[in-house]
Structure 1
Amino acid sequence: MPDRHSARAVLAALTDDFQPMPTPAADPHEPDGPIEWWGYAAAVTKAEENTGELESVLCGVGTVGGVRAVLVAFEFGFLGGSIGGRTGALVEAAFAEAVRLRLPVVSLTATGGSRMQEGMRALTQLQRIANAMHGLRAAGLPHIAVLRDPTTGGGWATLGAGADVTLALRGAQVGFAGSRVRPEGPADAYTAESQFDTGQVDQLVTLTELPAALGRWLTLLTSPSDSAPVPAALGGFALPATGWDAVQRARAAARPHAAAYLDSYFDWWQELSGDRHGGRDPGVLCGFGSRAGRTIAFAAQCGTATLPSGFRTAARLVLLADRLGIPVLTLVDTPGAANDSAAERAGLGPAIASLFDAIAAARVEITTLLIGEGGSGGALAFAAPGRTWCTSDSYFSVTAPEAAAAILKHGPGQVPGIANRLRLRPQDLVDLGVAAGIVCPHATAPGSPR
């Protein structure tokens, strides 16, 4: 069932040392609010009596999974968790306290949106909250959102969708339009599951799973490593004799792929899912992993043609990691960018450009390992200039040998010879200065056989 637990019940499930911040008293000069909505004062009094709370949000500091954080928990029983003037003031103060204490923020939303009885003053609280969120980002601190039931209106469009990482409780109603104001029709788009499928939510959890999941994310986002070491190769070390041999070895189904490298490199890792623009690419794994107790971010291609959403998700990952001071590992393995008409309509060019720009602008260390196919610009967008290594069962090429043959109007029989002429083998990449070296299996540092 969707979660309608009280704010205090959810907080109690997450932390046993919650220290609340004070709630400001209502303005005695505006008993019925800024627009003098008749009966508003009585409604607030009834909400206080029913919930035991003074406002629709509780803010304070507590420890979750061993990490201290500022917690912002909405009480849906208080006027539908609606956002009014005091709500905005409390959320603003909580984010300011997080900046002062250098702590992450966890927002636990359950809200129907802005408080109608306060008119436009209530709606402008969204600007106030957005400004507070910007201050946290500028301070290099993370914000994790947990979407409870329901999360709609301005609460979704600020604290929910604007967080660095967004978790959602299974079965929750999530969407900008609430159930009473949306157009008639299927409601499946307004669910946590739909928001996950379309790249707006990173992880779906149950209330029982929430404490552990939240603890993992808080640990990852607050424990940056100093660097991203080059992974050891998982395959063999014998180098390919020809370019065509390199292509065939990189395309072999049995060679190690991205998930195997992530499992070998990290003690454990957590996936960041979706591009926040309506898409998910199952062929790109992005997220954060723990290695010897410190966090490294990763963006890994899984051997398929990369979709626009894959490039945007990787750019999102690099930008977030850079802001939090977390180094990044990228794994390159793709025959190239998806270049069909659907990809073009989905903004393929701008998506690739966004990743090139994110890597170019990054201040943290980015390390790249080519683990399979390196197909043209769709692969290069994932690669760090000057810090790219390769395995012996990989290749990197300006274009696929088959595409080069087509451009030159040559037949299929000439593809192997063209592959040889493209100088795409690992050892060729080192000679050309494209790769810094070829990694050895089980190596502790990158090395070259040359």
Structure 2
Amino acid sequence: MTAAATGPAATARELIDAVSTGFRELPRHDSSGGPDGPIGWSGYDASRARARERTGETEAVVCGTADAGGTEAVLVAFEFGFLGGSIGAGTGERIETAFITARELSLPVVSLIASGGSRMQEGMFALTQLQRIARQMVRLRAAGLPHVAVLAGPVTGGGWATLGAGADVRVALPGAQVGFAGSRVRPAGADPRAYTAEGQFAAGRVDRIVEPGELRATVARWLSLLTRPAPGPVPPPRALRAADPPRGGWEAVLRAREPDRPRARAYLEAYFTEREPLGGTDPGILSGFGLHEGRSVAYVAQCGTATTPAGFRAAIRLVGLADRLGIPVLTLVDTPGAANDAEAEREGVGPAIAEAITTLAGCRIPVTTLLIGEGGSGGAIALTSLGRTWVTPDSYYSVVAPELAVSILKRGPEQVPATAEQLRLRPQDLVDLGVARGIVSP
């Protein structure tokens, strides 16, 4: 599939062919809404007639079922050539029917979006279609069915604010225009990059930029990962380094801080045969879905840095999505603690930790945790499963780092090693205390 066939000029049916085979269009009922539409916009009927003649379509969206790389799915594909892919009452009706069909058949939804937003010629009737669409998206979520959006571009206005940004997973073609404000309504001097797929990816609102030639395989992988859960709970990864349990608390801390200790990426690569990441802006958090023994497992992993509010929110998104889809979760804990600078406070680090803790606590699906390095205070507990936690021999878990503990207790810095011993933070201490179920072996 060429870039031209899947770029901004791609038709709805070209987009469908780019990700699927065997497309079967859903029955449709196209009503005019009266002469010149629901608000009597002069010339609207003529505009629609020209759009039908130019595109061969009767509305700005084409909906049906198809095989997307081995997974049967409902497809919602926008025809940008039909009045800019705008959303009117007829468009809303078709999208509503598509989502209802997905629920009735227990199928995922793939939205292929190229839309300028709400249709001006239908006034508020057009804008209320966003509520109609949102209601069906909520019902799809309640049914435990996934929704993947392909942002073919442009994706602006209500197209982005409902089907695009509201999807479970969002992938975009390079250079696609993606943003709430279209090019004609932005403030003068606005940074144009903010309204691109790349800008949204940098902000964590797009999960992946996909080259046209990779689109079919990417959509197929996501649908497979989101619809074929592993039986939970999943086992913890094995330790990647052999070591005897540390003799003292300070030795445990120093061992966990060794720069050559195996980190999250190494554990993920050893545990999964295939992974697809979700977007985020904290480089110290890795989250997404992967294949373990042929079935899907969700993961969120700390990479040894202080976790920011954005990192906790990425974890919340991952765990919430996995819970809704019935996919078991693996968390890898490795952080000196939550970020505690002024910027973290302004961004709401406390509420972010609270939401992460309650999200894990409220999970209906099993969560498995492996402590692979530092387990610092609230930053670590936010991603720790109660009752299903294991530890590696080169890790420690503490109510607070020993250096901070001596400050809180008004002790001198020379008391750090002794305080580490008192905190009972060694792997074997955690097992004895019932905090961990066991120490994993290589």
Distance of 2:380 and 2:262 partners within structure 1: 17
Distance of 1:417 and 1:135 partners within structure 2: 56
1:269 counterpart (269, 275, 282): 275
Is the counterpart of residue 40 in structure 1 residue 44 in structure 2? yes
Distance of 2:274 and 2:176 partners within structure 1: 28
- Determine if contact 1:23/1:55 at 8 Å carries over to the other structure: no
Distance of 1:6 and 1:114 partners within structure 2: 19
**Counterpart for residue 117 of structure 2:** 113
- Determine if contact 1:4/1:148 at 8 Å carries over to the other structure: no
**Counterpart for residue 16 of structure 2:** 11
- 1:62 is displaced (CA, Å) by 0.6
Q: Which moved more, 1:148-157 or 1:199-208?
A: 199-208
C-alpha offsets along residues 300-341 of structure 1, whole Å, 9 cap, x if unaligned? 100000000111110111111000000000000000000000
Distance of 1:79 and 1:3 partners within structure 2: 14
- Determine if contact 1:386/1:434 at 8 Å carries over to the other structure: yes
2:130 counterpart (112, 126, 140): 126
Is the counterpart of residue 156 in structure 1 residue 160 in structure 2? yes
Distance of 1:211 and 1:243 partners within structure 2: 51
1:70 counterpart (71, 74, 99): 74
Is the counterpart of residue 247 in structure 1 residue 253 in structure 2? yes
CA RMSD of aligned residues (A): 1.0
- 1:187 is displaced (CA, Å) by 1.3
Distance of 2:81 and 2:331 partners within structure 1: 45
Q: Percent identity?
A: 62
C-alpha offsets along residues 196-251 of structure 1, whole Å, 9 cap, x if unaligned? 11111111112221111111101100000111111111111311010010001100
Letter in 2 for 1:230: P
C-alpha offsets along residues 401-443 of structure 1, whole Å, 9 cap, x if unaligned? 11011122333222111111111000000111111111111xx
- 1:113 is displaced (CA, Å) by 0.4
Distance of 1:376 and 1:288 partners within structure 2: 26
- Determine if contact 1:376/1:398 at 8 Å carries over to the other structure: yes
**Counterpart for residue 393 of structure 2:** 392
2:193 counterpart (188, 194, 198): 188
Distance of 2:132 and 2:31 partners within structure 1: 18
Letter in 1 for 2:159: G
- 1:95 is displaced (CA, Å) by 0.3
C-alpha offsets along residues 9-30 of structure 1, whole Å, 9 cap, x if unaligned? 1111212201111232233x61
Distance of 2:115 and 2:249 partners within structure 1: 59
For 1:62, what is the secondary structure of its paired residue? strand
**Counterpart for residue 437 of structure 2:** 436
- 1:134 is displaced (CA, Å) by 0.7
Distance of 2:294 and 2:431 partners within structure 1: 33
Aligned positions, number: 435
- Determine if contact 1:23/1:54 at 8 Å carries over to the other structure: no
Is the counterpart of residue 259 in structure 1 residue 265 in structure 2? yes
1:86 counterpart (87, 90, 97): 90
1:235 counterpart (234, 241, 250): 241
2:203 counterpart (198, 207, 210): 198
Name stretches of at least 5 consecutive residues in structure 2 with no aligned partner.
none
- 1:55 is displaced (CA, Å) by 0.4
For 1:17, what is the secondary structure of its paired residue? strand
- Determine if contact 1:3/1:169 at 8 Å carries over to the other structure: no
**Counterpart for residue 365 of structure 1:** 366
For 1:232, what is the secondary structure of its paired residue? coil
Letter in 2 for 1:23: R
Distance of 1:371 and 1:15 partners within structure 2: 41
Distance of 2:385 and 2:250 partners within structure 1: 25
Name stretches of at least 5 consecutive residues in structure 1 with no aligned partner.
275-279, 442-450
Distance of 1:3 and 1:33 partners within structure 2: 27
Distance of 1:117 and 1:165 partners within structure 2: 31
- Determine if contact 1:109/1:148 at 8 Å carries over to the other structure: yes
**Counterpart for residue 104 of structure 2:** 100
C-alpha offsets along residues 28-79 of structure 1, whole Å, 9 cap, x if unaligned? x613001111110000000001001010000000111111100000000000
Letter in 1 for 2:145: L
**Counterpart for residue 412 of structure 2:** 411
- 1:256 is displaced (CA, Å) by 0.7
Letter in 1 for 2:227: T
Q: Which moved more, 1:344-353 or 1:202-211?
A: 202-211
Is the counterpart of residue 294 in structure 1 residue 295 in structure 2? yes
- 1:161 is displaced (CA, Å) by 0.5
1:143 counterpart (133, 139, 147): 147
Distance of 1:364 and 1:15 partners within structure 2: 31
- 1:188 is displaced (CA, Å) by 1.4
